[in-house]
Amino acid sequence: MVNLEVNLKNLNLKNPVMTASGTFGYGEEFEDFIDIGRLGGILVKGTTRHHREGNPYPRMAETPSGMLNAVGLQNKGVENFCKDIYPRIKHYNTNILVNVSGSTIEDYVETAQMINDLEHIPAIELNISCPNVKEGGMAFGTSCTSAASVVKEVRKVYKKHLMVKLSPNVTDITEIAKAVETEGADSVSLINTLLGMAIDAETRKPLLSTITGGLSGPCVKPIALRMVWQVFRAVNIPIVGLGGIMNARDAIEFILAGASAIQIGTANFIDPQVTVKVVEGIQEYMIRHKVHNISDLTGALANQ
């Protein structure tokens, strides 16, 4: 038997496979397709202090081996989450993590505080890396001082596992990772989407209402892998790797680069059953390679 369990400080996962926020709704959208209880955890839709309508249509453009999105954190706000959504999903036999975003530090703090009180939410993922909002979001995650200050303030009120989602749109991601580690982050997840753009040559118009958007999918995987590898050598807290994972082989690559767990994002849109297939594929890989504990693979990149 292989042991898929992962321990991220005070957050225990039955296996390393989680879903990326914004690609898995609130889990309910996938109930027809998979048994959510088979996953290590799910990251629900980005949640903000107040209701957000998100950006105007068009919000999505397909790219070679990927897609750009500019959804802009459409959600009904944290109060609605606590009252309406949480009671519907709290029974899931998996870790439910809420992705928390905001325009100001106060937004982040108040939202985190309200989620801290929810018994069946063992962790939040602090989103300081959303490229699709005018205020806040990525602005917090692209400088060490602002990343440190938002984590510091949230840490004061949030007592459970605090994961911080990092932006790849920076000069040196390891500096940001070290800054949030110093302020008490329990883990880091990376990467959020890469800022990109698409144009229709015929009409000369941008394809997104916001002109720029976040690039995801297998086209970003090599960048994500490189950043996970860099951050693994820079910090001591666990890393959750994501960026273009389409199958178990991709997931294993992230774990070898230094991730303790992984998130599957864009692939959910193409195959809503992909997460469960990745759990099975990791298991199969471990048997084939005679690996007993998945944690033994973290950072186990062999020399050339």
Partner 1 sequence: MKKLVQDFEVLHREELNKEHFILVIKAFEPLPEIMPGQFVNVLVKNSTQTFLRRPLSIHFVDYEKNVIKLFIKRIGEGTNKLGTLTQGDKLNLVYPLGNQYSIPKNLKTLLIGGGCGVAPLLYLAKHLKESGNEVTIILGVRSSYDAVELDAYKDYSRILITTEDGSLGEKGYPTQHSVLKNEHFDYAFTCGPEPMMKAVAKYAKDKDIPCEVSLENTMACGFGACLCCVTKTKNGNKCVCTEGPVFNINDLTW
Report the interface residues with partner 1, using CB under 8 A. Answer: 22-25, 29-30, 32-33, 45, 53-54, 56-67, 69, 71, 74, 217, 266, 268-273
CB of 25 to partner 1, least distance (A): 4
Residue closer to partner 1 by CB (options 144, 197) is: 197
Q: Which phi-psi region, left, alpha or beta, contains residue 302 (left: φ > 0; alpha: ψ -120 to 50)?
A: beta
165: alpha, beta or left? (left if phi > 0; alpha if psi -120 to 50): beta
If the CB atoms of residues 40 and 213 are measured against partner 1, the closer one turns out to be 213
Q: CB of 192: closest distance to partner 1 in angstroms?
A: 15
Minimum CB separation from partner 1 for residue 162, in Å? 25
Can you say whether the dihedral through the CA atoms of 133, 135, 136, 140 is positive or negative? positive
Residue 170 in tokens: 């920076």
What string of DSSP letters covers 113-179? Answer: HHHHT-TT--EEEEE---TT-SSSTHHHHSSHHHHHHHHHHHHHH--SEEEEEPPS-SS-HHHHHHH
Which amino acid appears at position 228 of this protein? V
Among 82, 130, 144, 219, the active-site one is 130
Q: In whole angstroms, how far apart are CA 152 and each of 181, 182, 184, 208?
A: 10, 9, 7, 35
> Is 82 noted as a catalytic residue in this protein?
no
Least distance in angstroms from the C-beta of 29 to partner 1: 5
Q: Which is nearer to partner 1, 246 or 259 (CB)?
A: 246
Q: What single-letter DSSP state applies at residue 23?
A: S
Contact 241, 258 (CB under 8 A): yes
Written as six digits, the tokens of 287 are 């048997």
For tokens 């706000």, the residue is 77
Nearer to partner 1, 185 or 207 (CB): 207
For residue 96, the cross-strand partners are: 42
CB 6 within 8 A of CB 40: yes
- Identity of the residue, 64 or 203, whose beta carbon is nearer to partner 1 in the bound complex: 64
Residue bearing tokens 């397909």: 62
Are 129 and 141 within 8 A, CB to CB? yes
Q: Cβ closer to partner 1: 57 or 203?
A: 57
Closest distance of CB 72 from partner 1, Å = 9
Rounded Cα gap, residues 135 and 146, in angstroms:
13
Shortest Cβ 36–partner 1 spacing (Å): 13
Question: Which active-site residues does the annotation give?
Answer: 130
